[in-house]
């Protein structure tokens, strides 16, 4: 008998935490109140979580926006203002399903970007998703796709906030302060991870150094532990051959569903990714 494909969706039945009122926790709970057997649980509690990183002009934003063609609606916090020029590639009906948020903010007095206000607005506006996440049903368990473009900018904002509130010695932040920044970015991401949405975040690359020397390898320029929170991590690259057109390739560097799964995509779209997951691993993304 063929195996039933795994589904990356929120199950119709409530999770153990949801099934047990908060006031009952710690008052004679049984294992059935807290745990589920493996065959009754989806592969993932909510939606697919993807982190795509790369240099400029490597189709990161285009990949994120392409999700609206398969799993609308799409909500995007745009820190680089790079999405609107791409809207023309979508049909009128698809554009109606794209909900765009300008995540930048200029201080009206100084006319400069205000990172502290930008991170505050991002954290506050996540609550607006409730309008859609409250409408999920067992038949339609995912509210849509959420995009943060880019997570590198959000991490930079938080570091600037830390620079203003952290304890310093001779003008240098003491190391223990960094736990505050890590906690803030982790709290923000976990709010999205826990929602019934697919999550796509973009990031810039950062060289990996060992002993002061570059290894020639790269990782996403975000808080170091964040890639562990995602199901799929993709490194997007741009190649310029001596002859012929520019080539865009994307390399999967992490897959939670199978460690050895490392496909390469040309001109990657979200649709290509979820089709490949189903074809190779039997993972269905709704």
Supply the pLDDT for residue 14: 38
Q: What are the sequence ranges of the domains in the chain?
A: 6-284
For the domain spanning 6-284, the CATH number is 3.40.50.300
CB environment 5-25: b (16+ within 10 A), e (fewer) = ebbbbbbeeeeeeeebeeeee
pLDDT exceeds cutoff 50 at 1: no
Q: Strands of the chain (E only): list them.
A: 6-7, 49-54, 74-78, 98-102, 145-149, 168-169, 172-173, 198-203, 205-210, 213-220, 232-239, 247-255, 264-266, 283-284
Give the confidence band of 71 by pLDDT, cuts at 50, 70, 90: very high
Q: Which residues make beta-bridge pairs with 237?
A: 249
Residue 191: other Cβ atoms inside 10 A:
13
| Residue 222: predicted pLDDT | 96
CA angle 174/177/183 to nearest 5° reads 160
pLDDT confidence of residue 6: 52
Whether residue 48 contacts residue 70, with contact meaning beta carbons closer than 8 Å, is answered with no
Question: Taking all residues of the chain, what is their mean pLDDT, rounded to a whole number?
Answer: 87
Omega of the bond prior to 150 within 30 degrees of 0, cis?
yes
Cis peptide before 73 (omega within 30 of 0): yes
Task: Specify whether the CB–CB gap between 146 and 195 falls below 8 A.
Answer: yes
The pTM of the full predicted model, rounded to 2 decimals, is 0.86
Question: pLDDT for 15-34, tens place per residue?
Answer: 433 444 554 556 677 777 77
- What pLDDT digit, counting tens, does each position of 246-283 carry? 999 999 999 999 999 999 999 999 999 999 999 999 99
User: Helix (H, G, I), strand (E, B), or coil: what is residue 240?
Assistant: coil
The position carrying tokens 């908060």 is: 22
Separation of alpha carbons 22 and 219, rounded Å: 39
């Amino acid at each position: 008998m063929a195996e039933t494909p795994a589904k990356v969706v929120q199950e119709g039945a409530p999770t153990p935490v949801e099934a047990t009122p908060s006031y009952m926790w710690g008052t004679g709970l049984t294992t059935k109140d807290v745990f589920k057997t493996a065959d009754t649980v989806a592969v993932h509690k909510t939606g697919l979580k993807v982190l795509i990183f790369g240099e400029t002009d490597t189709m990161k934003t285009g990949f994120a926006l392409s999700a609206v063609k398969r799993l609308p609606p799409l909500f995007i916090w745009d820190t680089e203002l790079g999405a609107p020029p791409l809207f023309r590639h979508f049909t009128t009906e698809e554009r109606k399903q794209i909900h765009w948020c300008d995540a930048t903010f200029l201080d009206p007095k100084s006319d400069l970007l205000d990172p502290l206000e930008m991170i505050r607005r991002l954290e506050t506006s996540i609550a607006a998703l409730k309008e859609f996440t409250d409408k999920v049903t067992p038949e339609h368990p995912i509210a849509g796709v959420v995009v943060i473009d880019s997570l590198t900018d959000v991490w930079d904002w938080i570091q600037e906030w830390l620079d203003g509130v952290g304890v310093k010695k001779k003008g240098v932040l003491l190391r223990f302060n960094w736990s505050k920044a890590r906690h803030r970015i982790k709290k923000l991401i976990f709010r999205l991870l826990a929602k019934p949405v697919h999550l796509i975040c973009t990031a810039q690359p950062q060289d990996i150094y060992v002993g002061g020397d570059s290894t020639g390898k790269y990782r996403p320029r975000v808080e170091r532990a964040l890639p562990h929170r995602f199901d799929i991590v993709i490194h997007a690259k741009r190649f310029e051959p001596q002859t012929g057109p520019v080539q865009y390739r994307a390399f999967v560097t992490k897959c939670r569903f199978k460690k050895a799964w490392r496909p390469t995509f040309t001109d990657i779209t979200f649709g290509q990714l979820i089709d490949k997951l189903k074809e190779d691993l039997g993972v269905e993304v709704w």
